[in-house]
């Protein structure tokens, strides 16, 4: 029983100090996760609230089935891009068919991962070449970052490849919206400064390294608050600044995905690729963090946990999820001791979905674009180029 339900192991020794540490970590991760969830949903071509939905059920299910004490699952940049690329071949963005295909992809990906876990195929991660994975993630990060530049400039630059997007930016630069550029440029500069210089500044002021790291990771919240207030106070939506707009309040209603055989056949290969890439990222992050505390994870059980998380994401109106590096590191640095921190985060995200969405109406999409750019550039492994050569 404990093999498939690791929750029984840590619940047996759960106590008040551990719960307090997990709760504090959950608060910090939630602050970071709200803008990320919105941004990655838009990156996937989905309504912003879908990102919030994908950050509730998966966290709860991973707390039950996962073996990592600090891994935080949810939407991530690379999987969001892969979802947009795959679903965009089937339906047009903004349609019910597009959302339905993304939901079905999450469920299908989850079923694949669950089957792999039951068959004890966790060892397959050992056969994946590190240069291939590193190159794939780095190239995806560059493509994602360049694809967000039009959002910073307030222009449209359609295209599916890097060259097409760059040409689109060059052609559309004449239509730059100065207000969008001012907000997006500020958010980008602030987030970049926070990542590169804020931690050292805080440490010089006597802040402990762990606390300083958490503050740096939470910088997107400050960018969201400042730019949202500016857009609201100055009425920038009437001046051409794209804002998130209405985000429905309330929890997602559980529902089955479309069972159309043609749809499932069309997304079969993309779902398999998302499953593989998502699992490799998840197990890599989980193993790295576990090693720092001399803990161990079970690769086969991680397949089951990630599969259950994706099935939960799909059934609750979300899209494919995996273990996120940045939020997992924040969870670790904030002192999370057990997967209960993820469960607390899920509850906090649910409360945010219920009560905080009206406050996000004036959130500029340029801010979310800046958040994505800064987040994904950290995935680019420039040193890998030299090693591969």
Q: What is the pLDDT of residues 159-203, one digit of tens each?
A: 778 898 899 999 989 899 999 999 999 999 999 998 888 888 888
Q: How far apart are the first and last CA of the chain?
A: 48
Give the pLDDT band of residue 4 (cuts 50, 70, 90).
low
Is 2's pLDDT higher than 60? no
Give the pLDDT band of residue 315 (cuts 50, 70, 90).
very high
Mean pLDDT of the chain: 88
Cα–Cα distance measured from residue 71 to residue 54, given in angstroms and rounded to the nearest whole number: 16
Q: How far is CA 223 from CA 71, 211, 348, 366, in A?
A: 25, 19, 20, 11
Other beta carbons within 10 angstroms of residue 136's beta carbon come to: 17
pTM of whole model > 0.85? yes
């Amino acid at each position: 029983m404990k093999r498939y339900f690791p929750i029984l192991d840590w619940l047996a020794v759960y106590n008040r100090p551990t719960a307090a540490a997990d709760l504090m970590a959950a608060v910090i991760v939630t602050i970071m996760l709200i803008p990320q969830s919105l941004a990655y949903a838009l990156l996937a071509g989905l309504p912003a609230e879908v990102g919030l939905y994908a950050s509730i059920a998966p966290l709860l299910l991973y707390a039950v089935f996962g073996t990592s004490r600090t891994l935080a699952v949810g939407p991530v940049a690379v999987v969001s891009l892969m979802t947009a690329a795959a679903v965009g071949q089937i339906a047009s963005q903004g349609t019910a068919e597009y959302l339905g295909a993304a939901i079905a992809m999450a469920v299908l990906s989850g079923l694949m991962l669950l089957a792999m876990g039951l068959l004890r195929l966790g060892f397959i991660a050992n056969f994946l070449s590190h240069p291939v994975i590193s190159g794939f993630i780095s190239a995806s990060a560059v493509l994602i970052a360049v694809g967000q530049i039009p959002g910073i400039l307030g222009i449209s630059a359609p295209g599916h490849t890097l060259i097409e997007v760059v040409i689109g930016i060059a052609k559309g630069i004449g239509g730059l919206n100065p207000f969008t550029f001012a907000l997006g440029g500020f958010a980008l500069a602030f987030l970049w400064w926070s990542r590169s210089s804020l931690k050292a500044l805080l440490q010089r002021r006597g802040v402990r390294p762990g606390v300083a790291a958490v503050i740096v990771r939470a910088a997107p919240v400050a960018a969201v608050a400042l730019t949202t207030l500016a857009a609201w106070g100055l009425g920038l939506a009437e001046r051409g600044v794209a804002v998130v707009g209405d985000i429905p309040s309330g929890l997602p209603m559980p529902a089955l995905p479309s069972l159309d055989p043609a749809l499932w056949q069309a997304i079969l290969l993309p779902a398999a690729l998302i499953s593989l890439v998502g699992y490799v990222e998840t197990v890599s992050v989980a193993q790295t963090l576990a090693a720092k505390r001399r803990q161990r994870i079970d690769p086969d059980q991680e397949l089951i946990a990630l599969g259950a998380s994706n099935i939960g994401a799909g059934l609750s109106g979300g899209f494919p999820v995996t273990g996120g590096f940045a939020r997992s590191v924040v969870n670790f640095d904030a002192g999370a001791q057990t997967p209960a921190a993820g469960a607390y985060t899920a509850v906090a995200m649910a409360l945010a979905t219920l009560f905080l969405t009206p406050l996000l109406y004036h959130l500029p999409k340029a801010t979310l674009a800046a958040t994505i750019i800064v987040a994904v550039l950290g995935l680019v492994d420039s040193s890998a180029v030299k090693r591969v050569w």
